[in-house]
Structures are given as structure tokens and as C-alpha cells.
Amino acid sequence: MALSWKSARWIAFLTLVPILSGCSDRWGWYVVNPTTPSGWTNLTFLMSGLWYTILLSVTAIAISVVLGLLIALPGLSKNPFLRAFNRIYVEVVRAPPILVLILWVYYGLPQAADIQISVFWAGVVALALSDSAFEAEIYRAGIQSIDKGQYEAAQTISLGYADTMRYVILPQAIRRILPAMGNQFVYMLKMSSLVSVIGMQELTRKANELVTAEYRPLEIYSILVLEYLVLILVVSALVRWLERRLTADEAR
């Protein structure tokens, strides 16, 4: 997941070579040739899904990071009922494939709960729900890895549960689980492509629509691959930056 600039340059090089080498009429790159008006239009059409892919993933991740913690904490309780709640949630929610969850939330939930749900929020709910189970497990492992002495020290300076978690345990746990969470962010970004099946106008959907119109799947999907590659390199860089920032003060 964590890419250095050196390896990033190599990946860019290796991807660009086949694409550029195919830039003759025979290959059909004209469909996305930025120097022609129609190619430019197609290219901007493809890119126009970017905003929704980002909005969808970021919203879903933001929700699942909070939800995951709220699910993880009962799992660490002494109370067996709270622990059982955690186990059942995690096992049930992480079982269905994300695609199935998307279909269920979009087509099933409105009937079951008698509500209206937009494509965007159906996507967010399905992605966040699915991810929350994994985030919960990541939090649980992270929190459990903190030494018992930290809780005892917090207790002897009379910190309550909330303060102990907020100021003592979570700051340490989050540093440890950041790489695992970074993986999860990348995964969520990729899985957002599945929301295209219910008509979300994100990157994958745009590519599919253009393929239907232009009959140039190789070129168009190559662009799509590139788009995700760039997005994910950006996420990786952000996570690495966050990791460095969080560990910077410790190294001082």
C-alpha cells in the first residue's frame, strides 16, 4: 500500500508505455485523445465521475471510522451482553459481499422500512456498514494491544472511562492501527466502484456508459484503471503523511 516516489514513478512509466505506444489510429486511442474536441469531451466525461467517487468513499469512510469505534468498544466490555452485541454485529455485517449489501440497501431497505433512499446514500450506507465491521475488528485489536498498566495508571490519576479512552488508550491504539486503516481506506475507494450497478454516476459508471456509446473498452477501461491508480496513490501518500505526523512527536 505504501508506495515510495521511486516505485510510483515506475508504475506510472510501465502503465503509460503501452498506452502511449498505442497512440496510433489503429489502436483507437482517438476516443480519449485530449487534442481533439471529441476526445477531450470523452475524457472530461470520464473524469466527471471523480467527484462522486471521492465524495462517496470519503463519506462512507468517515461514517465507518466512527461507527467502527462505537461497535468495537462494547466488544471490550466486561459485560457479556455488550460483547455478544459486538460479535453478532461483526459476524452478520461482514458476511454479505459488498455488492449484495448495496443491492439490499437500495432495493430491499426502502420496502422493508418504507423509506426513500437516494442512490448516493444507499451506496454510502452499504459501504459504511460493511466497512464498520472491519474497522471494529481493527480497533479491537489495536485497543487490546495496549498494556494493562496504562489503564491502571489512568485509574490512579482518577480518569473515568471516557477520559481514559480519549486521552490515554485511543491515541496510542490509533498510531498502531493506522497502517491497517490505510489499507481499509484503499479498499473502500475500490469498492465504491460497485455502487455503479445501482446507477451512481461515479468513475466506473461513467466508463461503462462511454464504452456503450463508443465501443472502445480497452482504451476507456485503461483510462479507468489509471484514474483509480492515481486516486489510490494519493490515499497512500495521505496515510503515510498522517503516520509520519502522528509519530513525529514521539521521535523527538
Partner 1 sequence: MLRNETATIISIRAVSKLFGTFKALDEVSLNVREGERVVVCGPSGSGKSTLIRCVNRLEQHDVGEIVLDGVTLGNTRDSAKVIADTVGMVFQQFNLFPHLTVLDNITLGPVRSRGMSEADAKALAMHYLERVKIPEQAGKYPRNLSGGQQQRVAIARALCMEPRVMLFDEPTSALDPEMINEVLDVMAELAGSGMTMICVTHEMGFARRVADTMVFMDKGKIVETAPPDVFFTAPESARCQEFLQQILPH
Residues that bind partner 1 (CB under 8 A): 147, 149-150, 152-153, 155-160, 163, 167-168, 171-172, 175, 249-250, 252
- Minimum distance from residue 177 beta carbon to partner 1 (Å): 14
Q: Which is nearer to partner 1, 23 or 153 (by Cβ)? A: 153
Q: Which of 147, 179, 173, 175 is nearest to 72 (CA)?
A: 173
- The letter for the amino acid at 157 is I
- Minimum distance from residue 167 beta carbon to partner 1 (Å): 6
Neighbouring residues of 136: CB distance < 8 A, sequence distance ≥ 6: 67, 68, 69, 71, 72, 75, 86, 89, 90
Task: Round to whole Å and give the CA distance between 206 and 228.
Answer: 13
- Minimum distance from residue 157 beta carbon to partner 1 (Å): 3
- Minimum distance from residue 173 beta carbon to partner 1 (Å): 10
- Minimum distance from residue 70 beta carbon to partner 1 (Å): 22
Dmax (CA) for the chain in angstroms is 75
- Minimum distance from residue 248 beta carbon to partner 1 (Å): 11
3-state secondary structure 114-147: CCCCCHHHHHHHHHHHHHHHHHHHHHHHHHHCCC
Neighbouring residues of 52: CB distance < 8 A, sequence distance ≥ 6: 120, 200, 201, 202, 203
Q: Which is nearer to partner 1, 25 or 250 (by Cβ)? A: 250
Would you give the DSSP letter of residue 32? G
- Number of helices (H), then strands (E), belonging to the chain: the values are 12, 0
Q: Which is nearer to partner 1, 91 or 163 (by Cβ)? A: 163
CA atoms within 13 A on the CB side of 53: 29
- Minimum distance from residue 155 beta carbon to partner 1 (Å): 7
Instruction: Note the Cα 27 to chain centre separation in Å.
Output: 34
Q: Which is nearer to partner 1, 114 or 250 (by Cβ)? A: 250
Q: Which is nearer to partner 1, 121 or 151 (by Cβ)? A: 151
Q: Which is nearer to partner 1, 113 or 157 (by Cβ)? A: 157
Q: Which is nearer to partner 1, 97 or 171 (by Cβ)? A: 171
